[in-house]
Amino acid sequence: MKTKLTPKKFYTKLYKMLENVTPLEIDCGQLCDGACCTVTDEVTGMYLFPGERVMYNPMPSWGEIQDIDFTYDGGKSVDFFTCEGKCDRSLRPLSCRIFPLVPYAKRGDKLSIIMDIRGRGMCPLATAMKKEDLSPLFVERVTKAMQLCMLNRETREFIYSLSETIDEIEKMGEDFR
Ligand code: SF4
Ligand code: SF4
Is 1 inside a domain boundary?
A: no
DSSP summary character for residue 48: P
| H or E, element range at 101 | strand 101-104
Mutation to probe ligand 2, out of 79, 83, 86, 89 (largest number of atoms < 8 A from CB): 83
Q: Relative to the CA of 92, which ligand 2 atom is closest?
A: 1
Q: Which of 50, 125, 38 is nearest to 87 (CA)?
A: 38
Q: Is 128 exposed, middle or buried (0-12, 13-18, 19+ CB in 10 A)?
A: exposed
Is 66 inside a domain boundary?
A: yes
Q: pLDDT tens digits for the chain (177 residues)? A: 555 899 999 999 999 999 999 999 999 999 999 999 998 766 678 999 999 999 999 999 999 999 999 999 999 999 999 998 999 999 999 999 999 999 999 998 999 999 999 999 999 999 999 999 999 999 999 999 999 999 999 999 999 999 999 999 999 886 655
Amino acid at residue number 89: R
Is 126 inside a domain boundary?
A: yes
Is 2 inside a domain boundary?
A: no
Q: What residue numbers bound the domain in which 83 lies? A: 7-18+33-176
Mutation to probe ligand 1, out of 25, 28, 89, 98 (largest number of atoms < 8 A from CB): 28
Count how many domains the chain has.
1
Ligand 1 binding pocket includes 101 (Cβ within 6 Å): no
Q: Which sign, positive or negative, has the C-alpha torsion 164, 20, 125, 135?
A: negative
Is 124 inside a domain boundary?
A: yes
